[in-house]
C-alpha cells in the first residue's frame, strides 16, 4: 500500500500506480477531493493497481489508514509553519518500522521559508532518520538544484508505533 500526503501532480500518480501495481490512497483536505478525483479519472487508464482519494487533515486521526503503508510519498508539503507539528504527527502515526517515506521539497529562500525548513528538520530528527538522494540520481529531465528528495525512516527507538 502507498499513501500520498498532499495532492499529487498527475505525473507522480502515474509513476506510482504504473510501476508498482500498488494500492494507492491519495490524500488531501476536504476541499481538494474533487481535484484528486479529477486526477484519478484522468489517469485511470494507466493504473494497474488501485487508487482512491480520501480526506486526511494532518494531525488528525489516522486509524482508517492503518496498518502502516510500505511507502508514504510527500511532495512540496513543507511550506507553512503551523502545519509542521501536525504534519510530523501524521508521519509518526502513519509510519511503521518498515515504512519508507519519500519526501520531495522545493528549497525556498524568500521570507520565512528558510526558518520553516530549519524547524521541519529540527522536529523531524526527533523521531526519524533521513538521507538525501543525490542530485545525480534524480530524474534527468526534472532535476534541479533547488529540489531535494529525502528517504526518511523512523528511528528504531521512536515511540508511539501504531498497533
Ligand atoms: C504546495 S501543495 C503541493 C501539492 C502537490 N503535492 C504538488 O507537489 O504539486 C501542498 C498540499 O498540501 C495540502 N495541505 C496543506 N495543509 C494541509 C493539512 N493541514 N492537511 C492536509 N493537507 C494539507 C494542500 O491542500 C496542498 O494540496
- Mean of the per-residue pLDDT values for the chain? 87
The rounded Å distance from CA 95 to ligand 1 centre is 19
Contact 79, 116 (CB under 8 A): yes
Whether 161 is covered by a domain: the verdict is no
Confidence of residue 163 (pLDDT cuts 50, 70, 90): very low
- Residue of 7, 34, 56 best suited for mutating to test ligand 1, as the one with most atoms within 8 Å of CB: 7
Whether 126 is covered by a domain: the verdict is yes
Q: Is 6 in the pocket of ligand 1 (CB under 6 A)?
A: yes
Q: Is 75 in the pocket of ligand 1 (CB under 6 A)?
A: yes
Give per-residue pLDDT as tens, 67-120: 999 999 999 999 899 999 999 999 999 999 999 999 999 998 888 899 999 999
DSSP E strands in 35-146: the ranges are: 50-55, 71-75, 100-106, 128-132
Region 9-37: mean pLDDT is 78
| CATH code of 86's domain | 3.40.50.150
Q: Write down the residue that cell numbers 523521531 correspond to.
A: 127
The rounded Å distance from CA 8 to ligand 1 centre is 9
Contact 49, 71 (CB under 8 A): no
The rounded Å distance from CA 102 to ligand 1 centre is 15
| Total domains present in the chain | 1
Whether 160 is covered by a domain: the verdict is no
CA proximity to 138, closest of 104, 101, 100: 104
- Surface-to-core class of residue 73, CB atoms within 10 Å of its CB (0-12 exposed, 13-18 middle, 19+ buried): buried
- Output the nine-digit C-alpha cell for 20: 508498482
Whether 42 is covered by a domain: the verdict is yes
Q: Is 8 in the pocket of ligand 1 (CB under 6 A)?
A: yes
Whether 9 is covered by a domain: the verdict is yes
Region 128-148: mean pLDDT is 95
Whether 132 is covered by a domain: the verdict is yes
Range with lowest mean pLDDT among 47-56, 140-149, 152-161: 152-161
List CB contacts of 14: < 8 A, sequence separation 6 or more.
43, 46
The confidence score (pLDDT) of residue 10 equals 59
Q: Is 77 in the pocket of ligand 1 (CB under 6 A)?
A: yes
DSSP E strands in the chain: the ranges are: 2-5, 23-28, 50-55, 71-75, 100-106, 128-132, 147-154
The confidence score (pLDDT) of residue 120 equals 95
Full domain range(s) for residue 56 = 2-154
Q: Is 106 in the pocket of ligand 1 (CB under 6 A)?
A: no
Whether 92 is covered by a domain: the verdict is yes
The confidence score (pLDDT) of residue 44 equals 83
The confidence score (pLDDT) of residue 159 equals 67
Q: Give the Cβ contact number of residue 34 at 10 Å.
A: 10
The rounded Å distance from CA 28 to ligand 1 centre is 6
The confidence score (pLDDT) of residue 11 equals 60
List CB contacts of 30: < 8 A, sequence separation 6 or more.
55, 57
Whether 36 is covered by a domain: the verdict is yes
Amino acid at each position: 500500500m502507498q499513501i500520498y500526503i498532499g495532492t499529487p501532480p498527475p505525473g507522480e500518480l502515474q509513476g506510482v500506480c504504473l510501476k508498482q501495481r500498488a494500492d494507492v490512497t491519495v490524500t488531501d483536505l476536504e476541499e481538494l477531493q474533487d481535484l484528486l478525483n479529477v486526477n484519478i479519472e484522468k489517469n485511470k487508464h494507466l493504473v494497474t493497481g488501485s487508487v482512491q482519494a480520501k480526506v486526511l487533515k494532518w494531525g488528525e486521526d489516522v486509524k482508517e489508514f492503518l496498518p502502516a503503508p510500505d511507502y508514504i510519498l510527500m511532495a512540496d508539503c513543507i511550506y507553512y509553519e503551523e502545519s509542521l507539528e501536525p504534519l510530523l504527527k501524521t508521519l509518526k502515526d502513519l509510519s511503521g518500522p518498515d515504512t519508507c517515506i519519500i519526501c520531495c521539497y522545493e528549497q525556498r529562500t524568500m521570507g520565512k521559508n528558510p526558518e520553516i525548513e530549519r524547524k521541519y528538520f529540527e522536529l523531524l530528527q526527533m523521531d526519524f532518520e533521513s538521507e538525501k538522494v543525490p542530485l545525480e540520481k534524480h530524474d534527468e529531465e526534472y532535476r534541479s538544484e533547488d529540489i531535494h528528495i529525502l528517504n526518511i525512516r523512523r528511528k528504531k527507538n521512536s515511540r508511539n508505533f501504531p498497533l
